Amino acid sequence: MRPSIRAWLIPGALAVAAVGIASAVYQAVSEAVDRRRFPPVGLLADVGSRSLHLVVMGAGSPTVVIVPAIGGNVLDWVAFQRELAGEARVCVFDRAGYGWSDPPPGRQTFDGKADDLRRGMGAAEILPPYVLVGHSVGGIIARRFAARYPGDVAGMVLVDSRHEDQARRLYAEGFWSRGTGVLLRLAIQARLRILGLRRLAVAAGRSQMSAWIARDVPPEFAGAARAVNLTARHRRTVVREMMLMARSHDQPPGLGDLPLTVLTASGRDPTWMALQAELAGISTASVHTVAARGGHYLHADAPDLVIAAIRDLLARIREA
């Protein structure tokens, strides 16, 4: 190696190492401070060697159980939960590794996540029947729950849900923006992200995180939302769930005559709409609604539509 190149590489490598060490220290100290500043906003359900965090509002039966998307936590649903709690008991869980829930043990599967949800409900003494509301990948978990524990489920609402075979189908048809390829790319990007630097970017207002927190989370929980989304645990869980979604090549299980409502965001390509129609076809008692407005986060963009759909489903169940 030429001396001039060596003279440039060694200081560069030392500088990169110093930045990495400083970032890791800053991240560790910041997480410790955040844990003291922002205690759990809900209940901690003991599921053995770890805890799952949940927020429950309202009263009544069946209980509405919301299953969030990849990266989602209870704070994303607080405003929505408040609106619905006047007429039903509404429960939102932090999946293992998100929010204030402890990390999951071992390799994760959609069946395992469904089992985890049931353990958490039992530990919190929230008894069935349930109406499951699954957003995005939460829809897959909700369907696995219904397939494994059909006696516990009175109905289901899918909010722009992912399809079990979505990544493969979209990738095969050339949709890089939503297929297997992009999931793998996003997982790698998230894994390589330097959390300390990202935390600094958020504090300086140079991150999109502040914008979506302002959109989705009530102002009194904005600080807590930033804290739980900037942990190493959160990043690991996001990466694992993206990889799980990228590997999923299954078909959605049939739900028989279970009351089902499928809500789909408008303006999508034909393949996405076909996948949504397939989801509507897994029950003989389904209603499929394409939203006139709003994107993938329908509960934030058009909460009145999602709340009306849940109310309608509850009425159908109670009248049966």
For residue 273, being part of any structural domain is answered with: yes
For residue 61, being part of any structural domain is answered with: yes
Say if CB 113 and CB 144 are below 8 A apart.
Answer: yes
For residue 1, being part of any structural domain is answered with: no
Question: Residue 263 is part of which domain span?
Answer: 43-319
pTM here is 0.88
For residue 174, being part of any structural domain is answered with: yes
For residue 24, being part of any structural domain is answered with: no
For residue 16, being part of any structural domain is answered with: no
Per the structure, how many domains does the chain have? Answer: 1
Residue 56, strand partner residues: 91
Instruction: Tell me the C-alpha distance between 166 and 180, whole Å.
Output: 8
Secondary structure of the chain: what % helix, strand, coil (to 5)? 55, 15, 35
Tokens of 73: 């936590």
For residue 164, being part of any structural domain is answered with: yes
pLDDT in tens, the chain (320 residues): 455 555 555 565 555 555 556 666 666 777 788 788 999 999 999 998 899 999 999 999 999 999 999 999 999 999 999 999 998 999 999 999 999 999 988 888 999 999 999 999 999 999 999 999 999 999 999 999 999 999 999 999 999 999 999 888 877 766 555 666 666 666 566 555 656 567 666 666 667 777 778 888 999 999 999 899 888 888 889 989 988 988 888 999 999 999 999 999 988 888 889 999 999 999 999 999 999 888 999 999 999 999 999 999 999 998 87
CATH assignment of the domain containing 251: 3.40.50.1820
Instruction: Tell me the C-alpha distance between 285 and 298, whole Å.
Output: 22
DSSP state of 165: T
Total Cβ atoms within 10 A of residue 145 = 27
Tokens of 290: 């394409």
For residue 31, being part of any structural domain is answered with: no
